[in-house]
Amino acid sequence: MEKQKTIKKKVSVNGIGIHTGKKTELTFRPAEKNTGIRFIRVDLPDKPVIPASIFNVSETNLKLRRTSLGSGKAEIHTVEHLLSALFGLGIDNVIIEVNGEEIPALKGSAYDFYKILRDNGIVELDTSKKPLSVKEPMWMRDNDAFLAIFPDNEFRISYTLSYPSSSLNQYLNLVVNEETFSKELAPCKTFCLENEVEQLRAQGLGKGASVENTIVVGKGGVVEGKPTFSDEFARHKVLDLIGDFCLLASSVKGHVVAVKSGHPLNIKFLKKISKLIEKTPSAQKAALNSEAIVPPFDIAKIMKVLPHRYPFLLVDKVLDFEEGKFIVGVKNVTVNEQFFTGHFPERPVMPGVLIIEAMAQTAGILMLSRPENRGKLAYFMSMDKVKFRKTVVPGDQLLLKVNVVKIKSRIIMIRGEAEVKGKTVAEADLMFSLVPKNE
């Protein structure tokens, strides 16, 4: 099996954000196996960590023609070109320190990121990749946009682009590997339609756009900028799609068919398939015994990890996790919960402290599922920046998103968020101590 990869040594790059127009510097650092891709906002207090996960995508910013990641109030905007370059290079693990809110545009493509990282050197790690392998067809439609994926032995994308108002119709069918990515996709620049320019400016976007990083297309063809390919725009859409796929894995086996798909549909679709695509076990997990805990977790697996039992077991299922990075759990809130009999019984509301406890139990699954932590207990040490934003009532489904901020010996710091239907209902910074049961 193909090995995981990271970069050989530290390297930095700086530039202007295409939407904010602000200068930002990125510093890439090597990372250990199974660490994943992590952004760190080094310009903010506490230097918050934002893992590159499909569950950390900012839904609000998707409407602004970019993919943004967030954890708490910290965000990183326009990550798709950089993530696409990482995917093209097969880089699974890297730490990216960012001293601003937006990734630099550079030339409006993935090529500069690709070249800087490639020339800096890439090394293999002693752990196999975790490819996403499609086992059955899946699809999604949003008005006239369509996105589907079918089983395949390689990663292929067939993309149809159509903007009737600008007579822009293009099609691309391509097997994605490092060679095709570097030659056929990486140089392709971002673009916008001439009739969209004023609207984008009114939204406060495109402040860093220029002829060097953006192509403007009118009814008669290219108005500003210089394309590399005659079908540059379909190619760039594929580039963006690959960047969004990187939020799931650095390796994919499946045939993607897309028609007029952009970031909003990409992310919605990827969240769907993240629950259905089978992750090939890594060599490390395959070596574990039959009691190994491999996501997704059902309640039986959760009870093998957590010591809690009814009525205090507050996690029903785990949708996704990456060891040492993040976990996404689910709590289904029903009217039969024991606490509703005494907590505002005439107007049932889930106690806020139990929402925080559900976050903590989700974090506990992440920490205690590691082989070296089996049999230990996770004790609360502190809670900070706790906020309750909306009430939770019977019938709600809590999505519990936990990101690891720092692991130091037996101390773990996490950032937790609870959502209902995409809206944050509670958030908190939590600290735990791992101790053996006999201490």
Domain boundaries, the chain: 3-128, 132-279, 288-436
Q: What distances in angstroms separate CA 405 from CA 110, 265, 387, 411, 427, one per listed residue?
A: 28, 29, 18, 11, 14
CATH topology of domain 3-128: Ribosomal Protein S5; domain 2 (3.30.230)
Question: Catalytic residue at 263?
Answer: yes
Predicted pLDDT of residue 119: 97
Predicted pLDDT of residue 63: 64
d(CA 215, CA 193): 8
CATH topology of domain 132-279: lpxc deacetylase, domain 1 (3.30.1700)
The more confidently predicted of residues 230 and 346 is: 230
Tokens of 64: 């602004």
Q: What is the pTM of this model?
A: 0.68
Average pLDDT over residues 47-70: 84
Pick the catalytic residue from 77, 255, 263, 308: 263
Average pLDDT over residues 370-392: 83
Question: Catalytic residue at 343?
Answer: yes
Q: Do domains 3-128 and 288-436 have the same CATH topology?
A: no
82: pLDDT strictly greater than 60: yes
Order across the sheet with 221-224: list the strands: 190-193, 214-218, 221-224
CATH superfamily, region 288-436: Hotdog Thioesterase (3.10.129.10)
Tens of pLDDT, residue by residue over 97-122, are: 999 999 999 999 999 999 999 999 99
Closest CA to 238 of 253, 259, 218: 259
Residue in the structure block whose two tokens are 């403007």: 216
